[in-house]
Amino acid sequence: MTQRLGIVTEASLERGAEVRLDSPISVEDMVVGRYVTIAGQKRRFFGMITDVSLGVTDQRLTITPPDTTDPFIREVLTGTSTFGTIHVTPMLTISGDAESILEGPQPVKTIPGHFSAVNLASEEDIESVFGKEDSQRFHIGNPLDMETKLCLNLEEFVKRSNGIFGKSGTGKTFLTRILLIGMLQKSQAVNLIFDMHNEYGWEGSSEDSRRKVKGLKQWGQSKVAIFTLDKENSARRKVPTDFTVQIGYDEITPEDIAVLRSTLNLTDLAVEAAYQLSRRFGKGWLRETLALGEGDTPREDIDEILREANIHESSFQSLKRGLGIIRRLGFVVPQTPEDAVKNILNQLERGTSVVMEFGRYREIAAYLLVANMLSRRIYARYQQKSEEARANNTALPQPLVITIEEAHKFLGPEAAGKTIFGTIAREMRKYNVSLLVIDQRPSSIDEEVMSQMGTKITCLLDNEKDIDSVLAGVSGKNELKAVLARLAPKQQALIFGHAVPMPVAFQPVEYNERYYASLGSGNAPRKEQAEKDIEELWE
């Protein structure tokens, strides 16, 4: 039994419960964010302290305060005439009615009665809310100031698109790495990660200590394949790659160019020109267009083509300049020996997650082009497979989670309609494909996309617009805003949405040797050690 804190004296579903503290409880021990349980007559409520205040029974006490130098008077008045109150926001009912026993914690629909006793939540209570580590739940961290494990139901998590937000340097990458490892370990989903900064596949460096942290491949050998766009760069970093991705001219469509419109600084007419040229030249449009005006095509012929396609000379030049940038990317080649998409799909179908490293191609144009192009074709394949599976009543393809960074470039209000990611985010899990979006400017992401995200995890944000956009539509927004603004600048995050029963501020697990040992890869030596220990006991 945990310590009793006080009793409920006032409550409303909208504003929460007012709790008068018992006299031995010091108001200074009550910390905002602590979890408490309220024992109602029929059910128990689980809530969080959201405010702490002081009260007096008689206003005259505040006007002529008693002689507080006398310890006797101070002791008598504390908790009687002067008392502490806490404001508790009930979030869940954890036991009592049949529904919550069968289906776990339920959102609150009522309030506890007068004088219901309020206790600090025990470890078991918190565990019953956030779950134990099991085959589906993955330990991602601990609620702030608490030893209890916060476990995320990854099976639920991957069913919808999710977002990880936070200012630069607040630990988004670490959080993402933990989640990806969790997904590899505990969920049926396969991952496709567009790793712009080469952080996830193989070793990355931690920001503070410059020590190396292991990547996905290092602990999930057989379940992870690293694809690279830049073989030399990967080789230099001693990353064992499985495949070098090259993109042929034929594979780039005018849609891909449309996505890059603002990045390549193209005019609308130039994008239109790309469509016109593709209509005229067919699949080889990019090669043909690049060849136009180079070599020995007579000027008249070019003019003729442009006139026929109804393209203005300046639009054509703008397009050519843009295409020139694409051509200069080392991985774009006239002919590819192997089809990258087919290769990725093969891996994914085998249940192997794919990390796509970009090597030295860190410009946003390369990232947008590759991520969008590959995802579109993979998504199309998934769509086709899902539809076939539904028609034939066979198993749906394994869920796929696509991780993208700098997401606002894909999902901005202007781009969301054009990129495949906008479609995936909106259509959600219909075809078993969802997104894991990583971004530092959530306010630049299209509202509609944001509203479709299942679970959001956010590290510290301090831009008002970003905070508003992340918290849009969440109940208790103002209280969460206060929590979000008080997060430490590093390694603290707030999670809310579909996969957790209630919003929680938490500290992600430390990503170090101990962590590796606790993961599946450490099981064998641990078992051996345990057996050794048992033997020693009998000696």
Contact residues for another protein, defined by CB under 8 A = 23, 57-58, 60-61, 66-67, 70, 72-73, 75-77, 79-81
Bridge partners for 55 per DSSP: 83
Bridge partners for 372 per DSSP: none
Chain centroid, CA 102 distance in Å: 29
Please report, for residues 69, 259, 322, 324, the alpha-carbon distance to residue 267 in angstroms, rounded to integers and kept in the order given: 78, 12, 10, 15
Q: How far is the CB of 119 from another protein (least distance, A)?
A: 22
Q: How far is the CB of 72 from another protein (least distance, A)?
A: 4
Among residues 75 and 447, whose Cβ is nearest to another protein?
A: 75
Three-state SS for 430-499 is HHCEEEEEEECCHHHCCHHHHHHCCEEEECCCCCHHHHHHHHCCCCCHHHHHHHHHCCCCCCCEEEEECC
Among residues 72 and 538, whose Cβ is nearest to another protein?
A: 72
**Which helix H or strand E contains 139, and what residues bound it?**
strand 137-143
Q: How far is the CB of 76 from another protein (least distance, A)?
A: 3
Contact status, residue 256 vs residue 372, Cβ threshold 8 Å: yes
Q: How far is the CB of 70 from another protein (least distance, A)?
A: 5
Q: Distance between CA atoms of 153 and 487, rounded to whole angstroms? A: 23
Q: How far is the CB of 535 from another protein (least distance, A)?
A: 56
Q: How far is the CB of 529 from another protein (least distance, A)?
A: 53
Q: How far is the CB of 74 from another protein (least distance, A)?
A: 10
Among residues 5 and 340, whose Cβ is nearest to another protein?
A: 5
Among residues 57 and 110, whose Cβ is nearest to another protein?
A: 57
Q: How far is the CB of 9 from another protein (least distance, A)?
A: 14
DSSP assigned state of 185: H
Three-state SS for 363-406 is CHHHHHHHHHHHHHHHHHHHHHHHHHHHHHCCCCCCCEEEEECC
Nearest to 348 by CA among 286, 397, 387: 397
Residue with token string 């698109």: 161
Among residues 75 and 531, whose Cβ is nearest to another protein?
A: 75
Q: How far is the CB of 93 from another protein (least distance, A)?
A: 32
Among residues 70 and 387, whose Cβ is nearest to another protein?
A: 70
Among residues 47 and 84, whose Cβ is nearest to another protein?
A: 84
Return the structure tokens found at 150: 């916060």
Q: Distance between CA atoms of 189 and 392, rounded to whole angstroms? A: 22
Among residues 71 and 298, whose Cβ is nearest to another protein?
A: 71
Q: How far is the CB of 55 from another protein (least distance, A)?
A: 12
Q: How far is the CB of 29 from another protein (least distance, A)?
A: 19
Please report, for residues 352, 504, 523, 525, 536, the alpha-carbon distance to residue 529 in angstroms, rounded to integers and kept in the order given: 31, 36, 10, 6, 10
Among residues 59 and 392, whose Cβ is nearest to another protein?
A: 59
Cβ-based burial of 295 (10 A; exposed 0-12, middle 13-18, buried ≥19):
exposed
Among residues 61 and 530, whose Cβ is nearest to another protein?
A: 61
Q: How far is the CB of 22 from another protein (least distance, A)?
A: 11
Among residues 57 and 221, whose Cβ is nearest to another protein?
A: 57
Helical spans, DSSP H, in 282-363 = 285-291, 299-309, 313-328, 340-349
The size of the chain, in residues, is 539
Q: How far is the CB of 428 from another protein (least distance, A)?
A: 57
Q: How far is the CB of 127 from another protein (least distance, A)?
A: 37
Nearest to 450 by CA among 420, 425, 428, 479: 425
Q: What is the per-residue DSSP string for 186-247?
A: H-S-EEEEEETTS-SSS-EE-TTT--EE--HHHH-GGGEEEEES-HHHHHHTT---SEE--E
Among residues 23 and 423, whose Cβ is nearest to another protein?
A: 23
Please report, for residues 59, 61, 62, the alpha-carbon distance to residue 67 in angstroms, rounded to integers and kept in the order given: 16, 11, 12
Among residues 23 and 336, whose Cβ is nearest to another protein?
A: 23
Cβ-based burial of 437 (10 A; exposed 0-12, middle 13-18, buried ≥19):
buried
Identity of the amino acid at 430: K
Q: What is the per-residue DSSP string for 76-124?
A: HHBTTTEEEEEEEEEEEEEESSHHHHHH--EE--S---TT-EEEEPPHH
Among residues 75 and 232, whose Cβ is nearest to another protein?
A: 75
